[in-house]
Amino acid sequence: MRSIIKTVLFIVVLIPILMGAGYFLGVGIFQFLNFFLESDYLRGNAGMLLFILFVSTLSAVSMYFLLRYKKKMLKEKGKTTEEERMIEPFYGAGTDDRVRVIASLALLGSLPVIIIYLLSDNLIAPWGSIVLAVSVFVLILVILIYSVLLFKKSRELFNRYELIITPAGFFIGSFFFLLYIIDILTSNQISTPEQINIESIALVAFAVIALILGGKLLLMANRTIFDKKAKAEEELNFASEIQEQFLQDRETEAPFLKGYGISRAAREVGGDFLFLDKKNDNTVVAATGDVSGHSFGAGLIMSMLITMIEDHLRYTNTAEGLLEVLNHKLYQQPKRNIFSTMNCVEADRDKVLLWNAGHMPLLKYSADTNNLEEIRHAGVALGMTSKFSYKPKEIPANSGDYFILYSDGLVETRNKQGTIRNEQHFYSTVQSVLNNEKNCRKAAYIILQKILDSDFSKYTEDDVTLILLKYQ
């Protein structure tokens, strides 16, 4: 609000100066040249001409030191000018977008100019020409200023030579303005405005103020939106960094088993999660899950679930009862539309226990037969109901066998026609890789890369998570 008041006051002070400049534009440059060359008053008053030069020089020098002081204060405070802050949201925009901003300002400014043109006939000559010239001058000035600020090279050039350009402009403007003040006082060319409609004056004043203030308010509103967006992006990036710590590639090894896990988010914050850890020499626990949605909230829920898994296993050393705890916690969330699917396995030397909460089937690759088996186990997604008893399913394991946990992002990829594939493409990829690659870590990376390379989606549509457990 304070900035708006300052702008209005500045405009009020600026209008008389612009009236003089408008008169210069209104009566024409040729009339000025004729006056300058033939004026007996100026030829006979060299002192007056020196006075005009002195005042013009004084205004230029004052502006120089004012700008210098302003730059010094901004540098000490580490701030930028208000104009640069308003334009900053467009610094990363393309040339077409910047041209559109300039065009929108020109269109906005043309409206008050049209109003002034329609009302100029009601003003006694040459006031109509003066007011119209002032409005056109302001419009050109506004467009010129924003054109300079919006483009990097012109902005850098102006900032580099601002202490020269602006004082020089003030000197020239002051010189011409004072010459025409003398012209007005000595030649009596301007008659006193009489019988002017008050409504016309009000509309003209409003149009001139709207031309300057309207564009500024528009850019200020855009700056506010930009600041809020930047703050949201900063928080989102922070959340993404935290999630990356939770979703770092996991590797574990026990005397009887090796495991490797990978997870990649489709956006800054995703809903997929994985857990892989050795509890002791006889037990390894692995889990994959998918929280509904890809929002900031899904990322928070994902982080919460991983923390709860770690706490549960730290105090119980078993996955038994884990899904009941997670289901109870998710069901208590205020937004009941948040839920999560999950697969959890607890592997020991000769078997795997599987708990499923509505997640993708577990895959078992048998080393003896090179076959890939789909193991389904019923279970309700976490957070869907207040109570559910998750029972484990026992699966025998032999040396060389692989157990594969994964998310639906690896299954629901698109073919060349843009159609979503079924699970067979993923299954055949897994089987072909495991037939040839016996290193758990390498196999995980190869499977992930093959799936991503064969996905013809325009962008990554879903998070992807993969865990391989290989019995030794």
* Statement: residue 193 has pLDDT above 60: no
* Statement: residue 268 has pLDDT above 50: yes
Q: Which pLDDT tens digit goes with each residue over 278-332?
A: 988 889 999 999 888 666 667 778 878 888 998 999 888 889 999 999 998 888 8
Q: Which pLDDT tens digit goes with each residue over 438-472?
A: 899 999 999 999 999 999 888 778 888 999 999 98
Residues 171 and 290 in one domain: no
Tell me how far apart the alpha carbons of residues 401 and 224 are, in angstroms, rounded to a whole number: 58
Mean of pLDDT values over 213-237: 68
* Statement: residue 71 has pLDDT above 60: yes
- Categorize the per-residue pLDDT at 26 as very low, low, confident or very high, splitting at 50, 70 and 90: very low
* Statement: residue 393 has pLDDT above 90: yes
Buried b (16+ CB within 10 A) or exposed e, 222-246: bbeebeeeeeeeeebeebbeebeeb
Residues 35 and 174 in one domain: yes
Residues 386 and 449 in one domain: yes
Mean of pLDDT values over 114-139: 66
- Categorize the per-residue pLDDT at 373 as very low, low, confident or very high, splitting at 50, 70 and 90: very high
- Categorize the per-residue pLDDT at 258 as very low, low, confident or very high, splitting at 50, 70 and 90: very high
Residues 267 and 359 in one domain: yes
| CB neighbours of residue 359 within 10 Å | 24
Beta-carbon contacts of residue 292 (< 8 Å; ≥ 6 apart):
271, 298, 337, 338, 339, 340
- H helices of 247-318, in order, are 296-316
* Statement: residue 345 has pLDDT above 80: yes
Residues 263 and 141 in one domain: no
Residue-level pLDDT at 55: 81
Lowest model confidence (mean pLDDT) among 121-125, 284-288, 396-400, 433-437: 121-125
Residue-level pLDDT at 25: 47
Residues 211 and 253 in one domain: no
Residues 97 and 161 in one domain: yes
How many domains, the chain?
2
Distances, alpha carbon 295 to alpha carbons 236, 238, 359, 368, 381, in Å: 10, 14, 20, 43, 19
- Categorize the per-residue pLDDT at 45 as very low, low, confident or very high, splitting at 50, 70 and 90: low
Residues 303 and 254 in one domain: yes
**Do residues 246 and 302 lie in contact, with contact meaning Cβ atoms separated by under 8 Å?**
yes
Mean of pLDDT values over 51-75: 82
Strand duo 340-347 + 283-291: pairing: antiparallel
* Statement: residue 224 has pLDDT above 50: yes
- Categorize the per-residue pLDDT at 20 as very low, low, confident or very high, splitting at 50, 70 and 90: low
* Statement: residue 19 has pLDDT above 90: no
* Statement: residue 405 has pLDDT above 80: yes
- Categorize the per-residue pLDDT at 361 as very low, low, confident or very high, splitting at 50, 70 and 90: very high
Residue-level pLDDT at 238: 62
CATH number of the domain to which 343 belongs = 3.60.40.10
Given 184, 216, 239, the domain boundary residue is 239
Lowest model confidence (mean pLDDT) among 16-25, 258-267, 330-339, 440-449: 16-25
Residues 315 and 184 in one domain: no
Average pLDDT, the chain: 77
Given 188, 211, 239, the domain boundary residue is 239
Residues 132 and 111 in one domain: yes
Residue 444 has phi, psi (to 5 degrees) of -60, -45
**Do residues 427 and 372 lie in contact, with contact meaning Cβ atoms separated by under 8 Å?**
yes
Tell me the Cα Rg of the chain: 37
- Categorize the per-residue pLDDT at 204 as very low, low, confident or very high, splitting at 50, 70 and 90: low
Buried b (16+ CB within 10 A) or exposed e, 291-330: bbbbbebbbbbbbbbbeebeebbeeeeebeebbbebbeeb
Q: What percent of the chain has pLDDT over 70?
A: 66
Residue-level pLDDT at 456: 87
Residue 33 belongs to domain spanning = 2-239
Tell me how far apart the alpha carbons of residues 280 and 255 are, in angstroms, rounded to a whole number: 10
* Helices vs strands, H then E, count in the chain: 13, 11
Q: Which pair of structure tokens corresponds to residue 258? A: 């090796």
Residue-level pLDDT at 245: 64
Residues 205 and 334 in one domain: no
Lowest model confidence (mean pLDDT) among 97-101, 387-391, 432-436: 97-101
Question: Which residue bears the tokens 């509904």?
Answer: 292
Lowest model confidence (mean pLDDT) among 44-48, 92-96, 289-293: 44-48
* Statement: residue 436 has pLDDT above 60: yes
Residue-level pLDDT at 208: 64
Given 212, 239, 266, the domain boundary residue is 239
Lowest model confidence (mean pLDDT) among 145-159, 324-338, 432-446: 145-159
Q: What percent of the chain has pLDDT over 90?
A: 26
Residue-level pLDDT at 85: 65
* Statement: residue 157 has pLDDT above 50: yes
Residues 235 and 344 in one domain: no
